[in-house]
Amino acid sequence: MAKGQGFGLGLGKMKELADAFKKAQQVQQGARQLQEELEQMEITGESENGLVKVTMSGSQEPRQVEIAPEALDLGAEKLSELVTIAVKDAYNKSSETMRTRMEELTSGLNLPGM
């Protein structure tokens, strides 16, 4: 290594590195805040006829299942199908919410791979 060249990083590269660390800290702070927001959210999915509703947090923690009394008359197999549909609906809505919120968090940061 030649004298006075340090690690081969010029001032421009040092600024880029400092900017990258700053962006990483912003994303980390935003991610913590987003996680807290997602944990507080309630997202409801339901079966096509609304007889079964499933509520989960934005971080996909199951919170509640509501089954209309008339759904019980449909039998176990149909009820199971309705619950599955409602869970998938809640999961898809939650996943979309997380994806959208992460895109908002990282937009404008010009992060590689994002």
Q: What integer is the mean pLDDT of 27-43? A: 87
Kindly report the average pLDDT of the chain as a whole number.
Answer: 85
Kindly tell me if the per-residue pLDDT of 1 is higher than 60: no
Instruction: Name the band, by pLDDT with cuts 50, 70 and 90, for residue 113.
Output: low
pLDDT of 32 strictly over 90? no
Distance of alpha carbon 108 from alpha carbon 3, whole angstroms = 39
The token duo for 113 is 């791979």
Count of beta carbons in the 10 Å neighbourhood of residue 94: 22
pLDDT of residue 114: 46
**Cβ 57 vs Cβ 63: under 8 Å:** yes
Each residue of 39-72: pLDDT tens digit? 999 999 999 899 999 999 988 999 999 999 999 9
Q: Which domains does the chain have, with CATH numbers?
A: 12-106 (3.30.1310.10)
Q: What angle do CA 38, 44, 45 make, to 5 degrees?
A: 125
